[in-house]
Structure formats: C-alpha cells, structure tokens
Copies of this chain bind each other. A is one copy, B any other.
Amino acid sequence: MDSWTRKGKFSLTALTLQIVFILLFAIFADYDYGADAKHDFDLDSDSHRDAFMADHPDVQRLDANFMAMFQDVHVMIFVGFGFLMVFLKRYGYSSVGFNMLTAAFAIQWAILMGGFLHLHDGKIMLSISTLFTADFAAAAVLISFGAVLGRLSPLQMLMMAMLEITIFQVNEWMGLSIFKAVDVGGSMFVHVFGAYFGIGMSMMLAHNAEIEQGQISRKNEASYYSDLFAMIGTIFLWIFWPSFNSALAVGNAQQRAVINSYVALASCCVVAFAVSTLVHPKDKLEMAHIQNATLAGGVAIGTSADMMIHPFGSMIVGSIAGLVSVLGYQFLTPFLGDRLKIKDTCGVNNLHGMPGIIAGVVGVIMVSMASEEEYGSSLYKIFPAMAPNNGTLLADLQGKFSDSIQAGDGRTASQQAVWQLVALAVSLAMGIFGGMFTGLVLRTPIWNRPHGGDIYEDDPWWHVEEGQPELAPEGGEEMAYEAPPAPMKKHISHMHSLVQ
C-alpha cells in the first residue's frame, strides 16, 4: 500500500473525528449543575439545590467516595485493560498504546452518544458521573478489542469504537430505560455486550484461516516478561473491581457491592488456580488462566453485586465463574478457534462472555426472590420499577417509609426477573449482530487492515526499539534471539570434537 495514502487515512480520520467531537461538544455539552461556577455550593441553600434536583431528576449527586471510585475505574480502563493485553510477545507497544488511543477516543464519543440519549433542555450536562459512565462504555470497546487483538489497524479500531459505542449506548438505554433492568456492575451491558460484539467482529473479519499459519500463530504467544507485564493489568483489574461494581450503587448498597465483589473475586481466584492445575497434563498453571480467569468472579457478580445475595452466595457465584472461565480457556477457545474458526485472541468469551451470562442469570434469580421483607425500603430504590404506579399504593408506601420513594411500574419480582432476562438476551443479540455488522464494515479493504506477518506485530505501526522478542525458529533456518537453537548446539559440539 502506498505509505502516504495509508498514513493520510489514519491521521486525517482521527484528526477529522476529533474536530467533529469538539464541534459537537461546543454545541451540546456543558457543565452539570454541580460543576458550573454559577452554582456556589457554599452559598446555595439546600432548598435551592433541592429544587434544582427535583426539576432535573437525572442529575446525580456525587457521593463523597465517588471521585476516588472514578479514579479506580480509570485505572482499570487504562492500566488494567492496557497491560492485561501486553501478553502478546511482539505486540506490547500496540496493546498498551492502542488501548489508550481507543479508550481516549471512545470516551469522547460515549459522552456524546450517551448524552444524546439523555439530553437536558437540549444539553449534555457533564459531571464526574458522566466521565464514569463514559469509562464504562469504553470498557465494552476494550473487551471487544481483546477478541481481535493484534488483527486490526488503528484506523479499524477507531471505526470499531464509533460503531460499537453507538450500539452500546442504544442497548444500555433500552436496557435501563425501556426494560428497566438493573445491572449495577454492567455485566450484561458492558461485559456480555462487549465480549459477543468482539466475537461477532472476529467471525466476520475473514482472516481467521490465515492466522493459523505457523509464522503468525507463533506470534500469538507470550514471552516471560510480556506475561509479567500482563500481570500488572490483571492485578489492577482484580483490586479495583469492587469499585467498578459499586460506584453506581445507591445508598448503602454501595458497601454491599464492595463486599460481594471482594469475596467473589477471592474465591474465584482460588478456584482458578486449583482448576488450572487440574486440567493441565503436567499439572502446571497456565499464565493465560491466571491472568484472566481470576477476574471472572468480578464479572459474574456484577449484576447482583448490590442485591442481598449474601457473602456466601457471592462466593458460590465467584467460584463457578472461576471454574467455567478456566475450562473455557482450556477447552472451548481451542475448539472454537480450530473447529469453528472463531478466533478470540484474549479469550474474552471466557473472561467476559460466559461469566457475564452467569451474572445475568444470577441477577434473574436474585431479582425473582427480592421482597420488601428482605430489602425494606431499599427495594424500591434498587429496583425502581417495582415501586407502585398506583397513587394509593404509592402513598401508603411513602407513608410507611419516606416521601423519597418515587412512582414505578408496579412490577412484581417475577415480572422484574423476566425483564432482566430480556435485557440479557437483547444485550447478547445486540452484541453478536452489532459485532458482525461492524466486522463486515471493517473487512472492506479501505481500513489498512493488517495481513500476514503484520498480524500480532508492532512493527507495521511503531518504530520498534531493540529487544523485541524474536520468534522461535520454525525449521532451523532462522536465527533466534534466545538460546542458540538446538541444531546450532549440535554444530558447535560437532566442531568442538573436531578441533580437539
């Protein structure tokens, strides 16, 4: 390909879209109440503020811990996802660098697309809460990115982000506003959607046969240090997952979500180690399992993290997720890849896909058992659609608890559970079909798609410094970077015997 054409494409597209973003922000976006200098917290009376909040019910108050939780999630998006994907031995610059590019691009578009679906008087009002939900949306894109890691050009990544964020926001809006499903940790809207979007893309990219070829498949491997870098990502994700699952919870559900996530992750981690050893023929641990399956418990508890699942319930969910995830890496990914030619570089189906479905199903079960007896007034805050829509019933409830309970749809627990199932199924479908559509778009030859040796390789995109791990020799022709290959050893000892 002509270098100038190619260069022009990525750079000019990125610059153009960035200018479009700025224009759209100029027209539509401004500070939310709590970030606008006109509203001076120290001076405004509470009544002034309460009146404003009553007029703008979507504007969220910031919790004292929210800034810290936002920063925790920010670490997950940029350090966590970024380094988790550095495991590919010759794709480290790209994994962490393009993760940053894609996320920085996606969060801007996510603010716009999310804002268009929740306009206030024609404006998108920005608060830290907006930034937080933009990070959430970016997470879906980065999960999908994992499924096709090493196989897209930067230009394709931007296109992917544009399309995926759009579909993501529509799916989440349907789930929350139409189906009125709840999903505090985003397991359905972020993880299931993102994972199957990535797999859908991968199915359509039509290079899945090509990448089985020896030379390329040997680039789809880790090295000792790339695995250690990846553990930076794993551990920061593991540590901050409780913040991810709890930041959007209301009232004291926030602390509950932290506890549930913490014990789910701990038990998932133990089970992942145990099962990884168990399934290995020489009873060894696989780094890929440890890097990923230890996190599956955070995904699987996501939907029900703020519910009364009790600590032991969270631990059961976490344990099952750890088990399923390791088995997925060990048996399902190779099966899908070799038999069905569905490649999934990072195994997002095992870390985000199946655990996300578990999360959705656990959510359905927990919701179907939810009662005022167990939740008290919190029931109508965690599941707002279960509050009465009937004025008399609402007044009774407000009398019993507080005026702060708002009218809902009067759903029973079973009805809410059905809607949870609908949201899960729709997220799955929107993910797969959205991803397949996006894959079809991306396979057109105009997007600088990498081929052959450019796959799983930094060199086409980066000026690569010395010390990039080289490939192990295929036959014996190539010289390798590591220990002299076996044939050379033979020559040397042969010569050694000769010269003595």
Q: Are B310 and A31 in contact (CB under 8 A)?
A: yes
Chain B residues with CB under 8 Å of A492's CB are 488, 491-492
- Nearest CB of B to A45, in Å: 11
Chain B residues with CB under 8 Å of A224's CB are 92-93, 464-469
- Nearest CB of B to A388, in Å: 17
Q: Are A376 and B37 in contact (CB under 8 A)?
A: yes
Q: Number of residues in A with C-beta < 8 Å to the partner? A: 165
Q: Are A476 and B472 in contact (CB under 8 A)?
A: no
Which of A19-27, A196-204, A422-430 sits within the interface?
A19-27
Query: Complex: how many Å from CA A483 to CA B488?
Result: 11
Q: Are B67 and A258 in contact (CB under 8 A)?
A: yes
Q: Are A485 and B481 in contact (CB under 8 A)?
A: yes
Chain B residues with CB under 8 Å of A258's CB are 67, 128, 131
- Not counting A37-B375, A108-B315, a sample of 12 additional A-B residue pairs whose C-beta atoms are within 8 angstroms of each other reads A7-B278, A7-B280, A10-B277, A15-B271, A67-B68, A100-B290, A282-B463, A466-B469, A470-B483, A476-B486, A484-B484, A495-B499
Mark each residue of chain A from 30 to 42: 1 if its CB lies under 8 Å from any CB of chain B, else 0. 1110111111111
The SS class assigned to the A binding surface is helix
Q: Are A255 and B62 in contact (CB under 8 A)?
A: yes
Copies of chain A in the complex:
3
Chain B residues with CB under 8 Å of A415's CB are none
Q: Are A37 and B379 in contact (CB under 8 A)?
A: yes
Partner among B6, B18, B228, B499 whose Cβ is within 8 Å of the Cβ of A274: B18
Within 8 A of B (CB), among A477-491: 477-491
Within 8 A of B (CB), among A431-478: 460-470, 472-473, 475-478
| 4 closest residue pairs by CB, A with B | A476-B487, A482-B482, A480-B485, A7-B283
Chain B residues with CB under 8 Å of A494's CB are 499
Mark each residue of chain A from 255 to 290: 1 if its CB lies under 8 Å from any CB of chain B, else 0. 110110011011101110111011010111111001
| Residue A253 interfacial (CB < 8 Å) | yes
